[in-house]
Every structure is written in structure tokens, then in C-alpha cells.
Amino acid sequence: MSLEYRIERDGDTITVAPEGDISLETVDALRDVLRGVVDGTDIAHIEVDMRAVTFLDSSGIGVLVAARKAAVARGATLVLREPTAMVRMVLEIAHLDGILMGDTAVN
């Protein structure tokens, strides 16, 4: 399993686009990337483009929730965009779809 990513900046928005499986084996890379984005820049909005994510387990969910909380603590937002059907299903089962996809303003 592998996870690659790209980071793009457009004004006050940074987009992180992971590609591959987000699982126990790859989650450390995503954690490091999101931590660097949240802590290393003065931005207002972070989007995580999930269209190329093929798998998401509970460790990945934990990293995404922690990154969102860290962003909110810094006065920024973090939302997931374009989740695959599998990712959306996992988030719905965990009742995190509204929170992580920006539909609900829960901290």
C-alpha cells in the first residue's frame, strides 16, 4: 500500500490531495503533511481532496479529525472535498460526513 500526495496553494486556500490508501500503514505520511500545512502556514482554509483515495480506515479518520481540530484552533477551516463512494460511506457510518465535509459546524 502506498500513499502519495500533492499540495497546491491558491490565495488563502491550501489543497492537499492524497492518492492511494489511507490506512495504518500509510497514515503517518498524511499526518505529517497535514500537520505541516496546519502549523506551517498562515492560511484560512484547507481542503483535502479525497477523489483519489481508494481506502480509508479508522486511523485515517483519526488523523483527519485531529487535523480539523488543529486547523479550527488556529482560526482556519479544514474540509474534505470530492470523496469517493467508499470514503463517503466510511464517513457516513462514523457520522463524520457532515463535520469533515463542511456541512456541520461542530468543533
Residue at 94 is within a domain = yes
pLDDT tens per residue, range 88-98: 999 999 999 88
User: What is the pLDDT at residue 103?
Assistant: 57
pLDDT tens per residue, range 14-65: 999 999 999 999 999 999 999 999 997 678 899 999 999 999 999 999 999 9
Whole-angstrom Cα distance, residue 50 to residue 17?
6
Range of the domain at 93: 3-100
Residue at 107 is within a domain = no
Residue at 106 is within a domain = no
